[in-house]
Amino acid sequence: MRKNKIVKQQTEFSILALDDDEIMTVTLQAYFQSSGYTVDIENDPYRAIERVREHPYDILLLDFLMKPICGDKVVEKIREFNPDIFIILLTGHKSMAPPIQTIRELDIQGYYEKSDRFDQLELLIESCVKSIRQMRIIRRYQEGLRKIVDNIPEIYHIQSVDEVVSVILSQTAEFLSVSDLYLCMNTMAGEVLYQGMGSYAARREEGIECLAGVVKKGETTLVIQNNVVFFPLVDEHHRIFGIIRADVRDTMKSDKLQLFELYVKQVCAAVSNVLLHTLLNEKNEELKTAYTALRDNYLEIVSVMRSMVDAKDIYTRGHSDRVAYYATLLAKALGKNEEYIRRLHVAGLFHDIGKIGTADEILFKSTKLTPEEYAEIKRHSSRGKKILSAVTLFNDVAPIVEAHHERYDGGGYPNGLKGTEIPEEARIIAIADAFDAMTSSRRYRANMSFEQAVDELKRGSGTQFDAEMVACFLEVLRDFDRIRKELDWTYSDSKFDETVGNVTK
């Protein structure tokens, strides 16, 4: 009865029996083959070493006293290239066994005193078999974990759901050594995604039905039925969102399934990740569309408000366009980015928006202003800030508009800011504003020549204006003929070019 049991259990283990006594090896072979082991025999120690090198035996039974070399020497040579094989040393008598130190050093699992009966040797071999079996499980775990560690980064790097599922299927097929499998899951967009391999390549309906059944049951652990394994895909909220089905030919070892469960957990995280990413991309697209619509409205508002300012005074018509344009040129020369230039351009267009609230009789007065009237005029920058602050879209422009009459030396208004306390964009607008005011005709005076205006800028450098910016602007103005030509056809009916902040017709 015992032997029948063993026959079923041990066929997977192989033994090499080495003894220079042929009768002994033949006897060992006969005995242990009948117990179900695969047993090869060898009588020459050197040939035995080569056979172990060429064949992955699990257990080596060898005699200690042999010619031309003893068993311990044979083991010494084998251990040089094979640390894993289990070795049992056969001795004629206890007193003939090598010292315990040698047995330890050569990693010999046990020794057996030869006798007519092999019961004790059989027990010794069974003990080795248990250890070998455990070693194999550990190796499979190690190998499985290595595969998981190697494969997971790949699925975390893929950004398309279809691709990630395809890679998961290939990895699963390799990991479980199966060819018929599918993955079916609900995406965050409310669709069902199905991919199959082998006989499941085109069984989508079946997959969807099965997924619905698993979701209904709510069983989040793997299920095995008739050589079919179902792995539910579970999200971080413990909700089943998909399923992997694999048809396994033979009964799958539990350690392999445990490892695969570990892999599936990583798969769930990776798939959730990629689904979320896809959803975010879709939402981003929607946001982009909404943003574009919002920006179009915004540009419309800019246009309307600017025309309101310009409409008040024919003499200043086009001034805000030109200020925006000069400011943009200076900002580009200063190496500012697109967003900065956009903001500055809008600030240029709006810098005098506060004049909407200034009484026409003060604004258009051609005689000298009284101190009260001048104070009222000066309120336009603060009023401009107030008007723009009411619209969220203009929040970043409002402080620039407020500060466009501040002076670098602190003598400006409304807050007497000094140097770099003044927003950089406002320092740019101040230069552009002054230059255009000097080179344009006003109802109360004719315009200055270009050279006179340049001299004025130089005179105000470091006091009224930021000196570095003036120097940069003077460089920009070297190309004034071209700039002027461009403005001639530009400012009469201009609009904001949303991409680069240019003024174009």
CB of 433 vs Fe ion, minimal distance in Å? 6
Nearer to Fe ion by C-beta: 19 or 352? 352
Nearer to Fe ion by C-beta: 273 or 389? 389
Q: How far apart are CA 135 and CA 221, in angstroms?
A: 27
Nearer to Fe ion by C-beta: 63 or 352? 352
CB of 359 vs Fe ion, minimal distance in Å? 16
CB of 462 vs Fe ion, minimal distance in Å? 21
Longest dimension (CA), the chain: 136
CB of 352 vs Fe ion, minimal distance in Å? 4
Q: How far apart are CA 298 and CA 296, in angstroms?
A: 5
Nearer to Fe ion by C-beta: 98 or 384? 384
Give the Å distances, CA to CA, from 336 to 52, 328, 341, 342, 343: 75, 9, 7, 10, 11
| Nearest residue to Fe ion on Cβ basis | 352
Nearer to Fe ion by C-beta: 112 or 350? 350
Residue 164 in contact with residue 155, Cβ under 8 Å?
Answer: yes
CB of 425 vs Fe ion, minimal distance in Å? 14
CB of 377 vs Fe ion, minimal distance in Å? 9
Amino acid found at 24: M
CB of 429 vs Fe ion, minimal distance in Å? 9
Q: How far apart are CA 14 and CA 40, in angstroms?
A: 8
415: Cα within 13 Å, side-chain hemisphere = 16
H-assigned helices in 55-118: 71-81, 100-105
Nearer to Fe ion by C-beta: 245 or 404? 404
Name which of 341, 340, 374, 344 is nearest 359 in CA terms. Answer: 374
Interacting residue ranges for Fe ion, rule: CB under 5 A: 352
Q: How far apart are CA 317 and CA 312, in angstroms?
A: 8
Q: How far apart are CA 247 and CA 233, in angstroms?
A: 17
Nearer to Fe ion by C-beta: 352 or 406? 352
